[in-house]
Structure 1
């Protein structure tokens, strides 16, 4: 088990999400950075859908109730256990009673703590992910609180420390400024409702991520982009990554806790292979959209899959070598 000793902000239990409930109006939830969640589970030999703790704000502190392996992935952080520094993208081992302290976040927006076997909360509608809006999944459908006790599944504990290549380095986009995240998007259903000048403004602008952004949606600030004439649509299906334009002309990117339908015009959609980049973009920094096509979006998906395949192969090789010694 794990005991939460200190928490700042809406930390929650997340897995890869629930994807078969859209017809009932239930959104996906799940990790804002699914690549980091998968990587942590790969490090530990878990099922890649095992539930992690998603930590968006520091400081954060917990106590391990038994010996177990754990891994930190996602954002870069300053963390220590038993007076020993623990880097991100790293597997380590905790002993009963050890306290893990996560002090600060140097880059990125969310850290994932994976433990051997995964966080063992009940499966609700096919997922352990916390759904804040519906107040179900995770631990009682809410953010974690001081004093919470999280059960952990039994697992053959992986021993020995091991690091892997961070996604933000391996899958980095070229020509991105230090305070800017470039994400690839495909044009969406109402793109042609915007004139040429407005479309060009959308592509050329750097969009600031406002403090009103969260797991439901990222609200951006920049020059107003509005359709040539008001677009009034009945609510229809939307998915995470869709970029809607409300009447004020300031884009909203739907994220993992987004509703399943909406009526604002859609100008573009972040490709699935880049949605984790948005999840790791910090408040106050800027997003820049890069238009891409269907074929290139599939190629990006293949690149991400190849990265994960390489992690699996490398971890498996290290474990085989250790077993043979």
Structure 2
């Protein structure tokens, strides 16, 4: 045994990079909602970037760590504690066997990622271990975790062993944290978030008032939101659509406007095609921030060009590459 679920939290699932290559058959991508925090969690424990991790939403789980383990917690701050003592995010953690890892309410962000050196052992379906909740496959029996589930991990990675042994010597109260950490990527302590986007092919279908409202007004993420998409409350966007549109491909961050005029931002568990007007697409560089938003958060939109969006994504990937190199050098120095 490796990890026993004492309490599952609000929604805790196993995720990885996602299930690509099968959308033409109607199989959705799934995968981590915040891909940057997911990758950083794996880097910190010496895993490959596509290793399976836990994604916890809003209220995290309570887990019994049943063997000595190296793990890391990134993403949202859900106030993690080991044996009742607060532990830091964004750094490697040695956890002694039979210790209890708990989470409180979130104080920043929405989703946290818990990685284990070696990665979680999970059912692989069509090349991915990500949980697809609606189809009930992948991850742990195709569902969110529940009480008394038992999770297993692979052996600690070669890059993780040295830091594991070093931290084990410093263990107090059931855990030890590395003296170094990586910086938070994008979190901001505010309720208003600006998302950068590119206009979609159907933006011209909005009437003039809707076009202005879309960029000048604020929207609120509705409580009827999930991993498939965020429903937005705010200005009703009237379209000048006559008749039905042909369903076409959609992607992470596509914004559709259904007949009620309330926009929907599509996310990791989105459908593969959509027949509603696709008025815009969130820039890929802002997708991690999008994954950390929660019901009640306010958002507004800022238009950028395709070239600007490409430069932002290149900048983010370059930053990730530098962090990855730094972490590898740090792990190899033990």
Q: How far 1:164 sits from its partner (Å)?
A: 0.9
Is the Cα contact below 8 Å between 2:60 and 2:78 reproduced in 1? no
1:305 maps to what in 2? 317
Is the Cα contact below 8 Å between 1:235 and 1:263 reproduced in 2? yes
Q: How far 1:266 sits from its partner (Å)?
A: 0.7
2:239 maps to what in 1? 227
Q: Which moved more, 1:231-240 or 1:47-56?
A: 231-240
Is the Cα contact below 8 Å between 1:77 and 1:88 reproduced in 2? no
1:56 maps to what in 2? 57
Q: How far 1:24 sits from its partner (Å)?
A: 0.8
2:288 maps to what in 1? 276
Q: How does 1:21-60 map to 2 (within 5 A)?
A: 21-60=22-61
1:76 maps to what in 2? 77
Aligned residue pairs total 316
Q: How far 1:231 sits from its partner (Å)?
A: 5.3
Distance 2:298 2:254 in 1: 17
2:102 maps to what in 1? 101
1:195 maps to what in 2? 207
Over the aligned positions, Cα root-mean-square deviation in angstroms equals 1.5
2:181 maps to what in 1? 163
Distance 2:95 2:125 in 1: 29
Distance 1:133 1:259 in 2: 11
The alpha-carbon distance between structure 1 residues 226 and 236, as it changes in their structure 2 partners (threshold 3 A), is: same
Distance 1:230 1:38 in 2: 44
Q: Which moved more, 1:122-131 or 1:54-63?
A: 54-63
1:288 maps to what in 2? 300
Q: How far 1:218 sits from its partner (Å)?
A: 0.3
Is the aligned partner of 1:123 residue 2:154?
no
Q: How far 1:309 sits from its partner (Å)?
A: 1.3
Is the Cα contact below 8 Å between 1:181 and 1:287 reproduced in 2? yes
Is the Cα contact below 8 Å between 1:215 and 1:258 reproduced in 2? yes
Q: Which moved more, 1:30-39 or 1:185-194?
A: 185-194
What residue ranges of structure 1 are gaps of 5+ in the alignment?
none
Distance 1:254 1:282 in 2: 14
Is the Cα contact below 8 Å between 1:41 and 1:48 reproduced in 2? yes
2:173 maps to what in 1? none
Q: Which moved more, 1:241-250 or 1:84-93?
A: 84-93
Distance 1:60 1:185 in 2: 34
Q: How far 1:275 sits from its partner (Å)?
A: 1.2
Distance 2:26 2:241 in 1: 30
Q: How far 1:90 sits from its partner (Å)?
A: 2.3
1:243 maps to what in 2? 255
Deviation digits for residues 135-189 of structure 1 (CA, Å, limit 9, x no counterpart): 10001101110111111111233424142111125xx7xxxx8211111111112
1:254 maps to what in 2? 266
Distance 1:12 1:89 in 2: 20
Distance 1:145 1:301 in 2: 36
Tell me the TM-score normalised to structure 1 length.
0.93
1:214 maps to what in 2? 226
Deviation digits for residues 229-262 of structure 1 (CA, Å, limit 9, x no counterpart): 4452122221221100011111001111111112
2:155 maps to what in 1? 154
Helix, strand or coil at the partner of 1:317: helix
Tell me the TM-score normalised to structure 2 length.
0.91
Q: How far 1:134 sits from its partner (Å)?
A: 0.9
Is the Cα contact below 8 Å between 2:10 and 2:60 reproduced in 1? no
Distance 2:12 2:190 in 1: 26
Distance 2:7 2:138 in 1: 21
Q: How far 1:116 sits from its partner (Å)?
A: 0.4
